[in-house]
């Protein structure tokens, strides 16, 4: 039986390439296979490519520039190669069909609004190598019910996880600190928010400053459980 899956593999008229950089995708969409040998995906290379449903990125790619996949509204899946170290600012902003993401070990930086508006994102695996979570990284990710902060991330400023129901500060991360704009109070419009933190950690001391959070008597998954019940119920 002939496959009905549309695949846009390498054709000269599907990609504008300069040196080893994919500057712009110009194909018809569907499942896109980026040719091997490409080392970077340029600024806005796939922006507004609303017919693209999935993208295969070869291991030769080590850089994905900002806004590379912005507003790819039909994009459901994309792989991130092992050599990539940053998810740049607004890389996946507005990819509202993207349902899951696995980021490989080696990623150290997630930029400003990197996944903002990914309304269908239900799960994302953040690597232990991660050090920086940019402002509004997951703003508007209303289907993302849980977010685990890896051990090397010691501060997140305007994280704005307004759609997240549970945030876990991993057991190794005893130095994670909030900021006056950290989401302890940026999640005010969610009826209930749960923060799981290591006992006696800096994170736990920080959260005690917020009067609407209450410490639960029982631990959950080895963490101290703090619950915020919003006044906006």
* E-assigned strand segments in the chain: 7-8, 15-18, 21-25, 30-33, 40-41, 52-56, 63-64, 77-78, 86-87, 100-102, 109-110, 123-125, 132-133, 146-149, 166-169, 192-197, 213-215, 224-229
Give residue for tokens 């400053």. Answer: 209
Q: What is the pLDDT of residues 133-146, one digit of tens each?
A: 888 888 888 888 88
Task: Give the pLDDT of residue 231.
Answer: 47
- The closest of 115, 124, 106 to 88, measured between CA atoms, is 115
Overall number of domains in the chain? 2
Q: Is 137 in the same domain as 232?
A: no
Listed in sequence order, the DSSP H helices in the chain are 202-207
Q: Which residue has the higher pLDDT, 180 or 93?
A: 93
| Tokens standing for residue 224 | 């101290």
Q: Is 30 in the same domain as 133?
A: yes
Q: Is 37 in the same domain as 78?
A: yes
Mean pLDDT score, 53-82: 97
Report the side by side order of strands in the sheet with 192-197.
146-149, 166-169, 192-197, 224-229, 213-215
Give the structural domain span for 98.
Answer: 1-144
* Contact indicator for 231, 210 with CB cutoff of 8 Å: no
- The closest of 171, 182, 229, 230 to 207, measured between CA atoms, is 182
Q: Is 203 in the same domain as 138?
A: no
As a whole number of angstroms, the distance between CA 192 and CA 188 comes to 9
Q: Is 171 in the same domain as 81?
A: no
Over pLDDT 90: what percentage of the chain?
Answer: 50
């Amino acid at each position: 039986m002939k496959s009905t899956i549309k695949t846009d593999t390498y054709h000269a008229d599907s990609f504008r390439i300069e040196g080893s950089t994919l500057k712009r995708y110009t194909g018809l969409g569907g499942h896109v296979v980026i040719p091997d040998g490409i080392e970077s995906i340029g600024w806005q290379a796939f922006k507004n490519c609303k017919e693209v449903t999935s993208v295969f990125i070869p291991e030769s790619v080590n850089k994905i520039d900002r806004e590379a996949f912005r507003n790819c509204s039909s994009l459901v899946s994309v792989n991130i190669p092992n050599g990539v170290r940053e998810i740049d600012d607004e890389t996946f902003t507005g990819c509202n069909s993207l349902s899951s993401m696995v980021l490989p070990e080696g990623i150290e930086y997630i930029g400003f609004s990197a996944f903002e508006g990914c309304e269908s994102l239900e799960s994302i695996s953040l690597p232990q190598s991660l050090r920086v979570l940019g402002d509004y990284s997951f703003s508007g990710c209303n289907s993302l019910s849980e977010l685990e902060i890896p051990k090397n991330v010691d501060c997140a400023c305007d994280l704005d996880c307004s759609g997240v129901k549970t945030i876990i500060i991993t057991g190794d991360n005893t130095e994670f600190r909030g900021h006056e704009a950290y989401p302890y109070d940026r999640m005010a419009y969610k009826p209930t928010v749960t923060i799981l933190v290591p006992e006696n950690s800096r994170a736990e001391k920080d959260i005690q400053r917020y009067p609407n959070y209450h410490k639960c008597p029982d631990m959950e998954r080895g963490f101290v459980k703090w619950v915020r019940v919003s006044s906006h119920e």
